[in-house]
Amino acid sequence: MKNIKIGNSNLSGSQVVLGCMRMNDPKKDPVKVIQTAFDAGINFFDHADIYGAGKCEEIFAKALAQTSIQREDIIVQTKCGIRPGIAFDFSKKHIIDSVDASLKRLDMDYVDAMLLHRPDTLMDPEEVAQAFDELEKSGKVRHFGVSNQNPMQIELLKKYVKQPLIANQLQFGLMHTGMIDSGIHVNMTDAGSFDHDGSILEYSRLNDMTIQAWSPYQFGFFEGIFIGNEKFPKLNEMLDTMAEKYNVTPTGIATAWVNRHPANMQTIVGTMSPERIQEIAAASDIVLSREDWYALYMAAGNILP
């Protein structure tokens, strides 16, 4: 498993991240899931205070205690700022209270990273800066970042916060390619030319922010998985072809496609299947050829102008 430097920090974490949003699935064994991931080289675990209304963090803590894994051997990240169905909330009080609650559920003294979960248009960046300072000084949070934010939102934060913003979680995968489409379709007027994200890909590379690609196997907004889906015959035919060529599974190929980008992204995988985790990890070091990468991109319905 390849380890990469996270942003401009001293953190080095696995390129594949285990997302813990589904850890409250009663049909799964969280102890086996965590141990399998770690044994496969995944040392980075991503949480959020809203996952399972906090239950996922609690389950993770109890399961982790039953593994052979030491706290210092893993990177634990959580997110805060979403109050489901009510508001986004980047107030100082909410950020600090959320981190305290996450630490209690995780049964930990600190998290390696905390991300602001989606943008809060009512954000007072000075309040965020105060919260970050307090959390860093207390040792409760060691690194900070954001999710689903565009360059100007990040620049606004950076004007006030002292801490580097090391990561930005953005949806990216074979069926969610907006970040790269606009760069390929520069100086064109077709749909692919529209830049919805303010050149966030290039901004992230210029500013040493690690992109953490979430839901890499989904199409639409949580509409389903494209792998093995009859709605996407051409893409799945190509995934099968590449899987045979590289001696891995289609899921592994979809992961390798994200990892191949020179932006050096992390891929967040949310599966709670130990077998699927092993499949993904087995393909994590595959480097797709340029021709194969573009063949998959076009099989997903994209064109090269």
Point out the residues that are catalytic.
Answer: 51
- Phi/psi at 146 (nearest 5 deg)? -140, 175
**Residue 234 DSSP class:** H
3-class DSSP state of 242: helix
Q: β-strands 12-14, 3-5: how paired?
A: antiparallel
Q: And the tokens for 127?
A: 């309040």
**Residue 193 DSSP class:** G
| Other CB atoms within 10 A of residue 146 CB | 23
Contacts of 134 (CB under 8 A, 6+ apart): 92, 96
Would you tell me the crossing angle of helices 55-64 and 92-106 to the nearest 10 degrees?
40
What Å distances lie between residue 117 and 65, 80, 305, CA to CA?
27, 5, 35
